[in-house]
């Protein structure tokens, strides 16, 4: 009886040692690349994530939008469940203690917005309360607290186009059955088909050259943002672009 017990303990120790050496190896690889661990991206959502994601909502300050909160919760849960990269974004924001207030009210210009001063994510009427707008604004929320030059409101055009491309990638891959209007290129633009082909290449990890990637990004970005240029979004700011948000969220581990 005792021998069996010892044998079992020995076996357990062996497994634990083997596991800890795997972990060390992983750490080393990541240290070498100077990157953080991103466990939430690779593992499936854990039990109880439905409640976890609600930590991102500031319920006290969302009283005006009470009737829409169920829908916002559903979006957060779907985003967390189906988009591995967004799991990481949501975990990071929650772990840093950030929350957003939900607002649904008509805005003259924007379909949705993130206002860092009031930490508000807003939708212009219930018709714009859509999952793709939620993804888009969560990315602005994350960008504000993660990319220094975006927090300083420099290069708004770069930030905007990075977010449009990321939202398009996630929608094309993870919500492909949803009716969806691409944000990175207008459907009636000459470049539309070529843009979708570029997204597919990115989805298949076929884009392996950062210079080539940046060149295409600038080219498509100019075609699209030209139409929405304003006091903040200046197409000229795209020149010299290198991946920032896309580097953190998309290219992590895919390109050296
Ligand atoms: Zn935006």
Q: What is the pLDDT of residue 20?
A: 44
Same domain, 25 and 55: no
**Total structural domains in the chain?**
3
Look up the domain containing 237 and give its range. Answer: 149-256
Same domain, 139 and 212: no
**Which residue in 127, 135, 126 sits closest to 75, CA to CA?**
135
In the reported structure, the alpha carbon of residue 140 is separated from the centroid of ligand 1 by a whole-number distance in angstroms of 7
Same domain, 141 and 167: no
> Which sign does the torsion angle of CA 89, 135, 173, 195 carry?
negative
In the reported structure, the alpha carbon of residue 160 is separated from the centroid of ligand 1 by a whole-number distance in angstroms of 5
In the reported structure, the alpha carbon of residue 232 is separated from the centroid of ligand 1 by a whole-number distance in angstroms of 11
How many other C-beta atoms are found inside a 10 Å radius of the C-beta of residue 244?
Answer: 18
Same domain, 186 and 198: yes
Per-residue pLDDT of the chain (256 residues; tens, 9 = 90+): 455 555 555 554 444 444 444 444 443 333 333 344 455 677 888 889 999 999 999 999 999 999 999 999 999 999 999 999 999 999 999 999 999 999 999 987 899 999 999 999 999 999 999 999 999 999 999 999 999 999 998 999 999 999 999 999 999 999 999 999 999 999 999 999 999 999 999 999 999 899 999 999 999 999 999 888 888 999 999 999 999 999 999 998 666 5
User: What element of type H or E holds 24?
Assistant: helix 2-33
Instruction: Please identify every residue whose CB atom is under 5 Å from ligand 1, which is an ion.
Output: 160
Same domain, 206 and 249: yes
Same domain, 57 and 86: yes
In the reported structure, the alpha carbon of residue 142 is separated from the centroid of ligand 1 by a whole-number distance in angstroms of 12
- Indicate the residue among 146, 165, 184 that finishes a domain: 146
- Indicate the residue among 116, 146, 176 that finishes a domain: 146
- Indicate the residue among 146, 164, 199 that finishes a domain: 146
For the chain, the maximum distance between any two Cα atoms, rounded to a whole number of angstroms, is 79
Q: What is the pLDDT of residue 252?
A: 81
Same domain, 52 and 107: yes
Q: Which residues contact 198 (CB under 8 A, 6 or more apart)?
A: 207, 216, 220
**Which residue in 127, 233, 105, 122 sits closest to 181, CA to CA?**
127
Same domain, 139 and 155: no
* DSSP conformation class of 154: -
Same domain, 233 and 184: yes
Q: What is the pLDDT of residue 16?
A: 45
In the reported structure, the alpha carbon of residue 78 is separated from the centroid of ligand 1 by a whole-number distance in angstroms of 20
Q: What is the pLDDT of residue 256?
A: 52
Q: What are phi and psi of 122, to 5 degrees?
A: -125, 155
Same domain, 76 and 59: yes
In the reported structure, the alpha carbon of residue 159 is separated from the centroid of ligand 1 by a whole-number distance in angstroms of 8
Q: What is the pLDDT of residue 8?
A: 59
Same domain, 95 and 178: no
Q: What is the pLDDT of residue 175?
A: 97
Question: In the chain, what is the straight-line distance between the N-terminal and C-terminal CA atoms, in Å?
Answer: 54
How big, in percent rounded to 5, are the helix, strand and coil portions of the chain?
65, 5, 30
The dihedral region occupied by 106, where left means phi > 0, alpha psi between -120 and 50, and beta the remainder, is: beta
In the reported structure, the alpha carbon of residue 168 is separated from the centroid of ligand 1 by a whole-number distance in angstroms of 12
Q: What is the pLDDT of residue 255?
A: 63
In the reported structure, the alpha carbon of residue 136 is separated from the centroid of ligand 1 by a whole-number distance in angstroms of 6
In the reported structure, the alpha carbon of residue 17 is separated from the centroid of ligand 1 by a whole-number distance in angstroms of 47
Q: What is the pLDDT of residue 31?
A: 37
Same domain, 167 and 247: yes
How many other C-beta atoms are found inside a 10 Å radius of the C-beta of residue 83?
Answer: 22
For residue 116 the two structure tokens come to 């860092």
Q: What is the pLDDT of residue 44?
A: 81
In the reported structure, the alpha carbon of residue 85 is separated from the centroid of ligand 1 by a whole-number distance in angstroms of 18
Q: Which residues contact 149 (CB under 8 A, 6 or more apart)?
A: 155, 244
């Amino acid at each position: 009886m005792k021998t069996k017990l010892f044998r079992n303990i020995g076996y357990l120790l062996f497994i634990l040692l083997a596991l800890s050496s795997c972990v060390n190896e992983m750490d080393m690889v990541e240290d070498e690349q100077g990157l953080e661990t991103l466990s939430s991206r690779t593992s499936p959502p854990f039990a109880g994530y439905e409640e976890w994601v609600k930590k991102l909502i500031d319920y006290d300050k969302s009283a005006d939008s009470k009737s829409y909160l169920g829908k916002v919760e559903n979006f957060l849960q779907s985003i967390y469940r189906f988009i591995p990269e967004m799991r990481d974004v949501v975990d990071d924001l929650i772990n840093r203690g950030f929350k957003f207030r939900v607002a649904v009210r008509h805005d003259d210009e924007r379909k949705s917005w993130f206002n860092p001063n009031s930490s508000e994510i807003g939708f212009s009427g219930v018709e714009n309360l859509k999952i793709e707008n939620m993804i888009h604004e969560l990315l602005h929320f994350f960008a504000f607290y993660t990319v220094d030059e975006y927090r300083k409101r420099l290069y708004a055009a770069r930030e905007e186009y990075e977010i449009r491309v990321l939202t398009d990638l996630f929608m094309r891959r993870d919500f492909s059955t949803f009716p969806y209007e691409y944000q990175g290129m207008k459907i009636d633009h000459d470049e539309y088909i070529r843009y979708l082909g570029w997204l597919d290449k990115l989805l298949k990890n076929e884009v392996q050259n950062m210079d080539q990637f940046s060149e295409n990004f600038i080219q498509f970005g100019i075609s699209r943002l030209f139409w929405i240029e304003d006091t903040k979004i200046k197409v000229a700011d795209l020149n010299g672009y290198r991946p920032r948000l896309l580097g953190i969220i998309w290219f992590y581990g895919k390109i050296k």
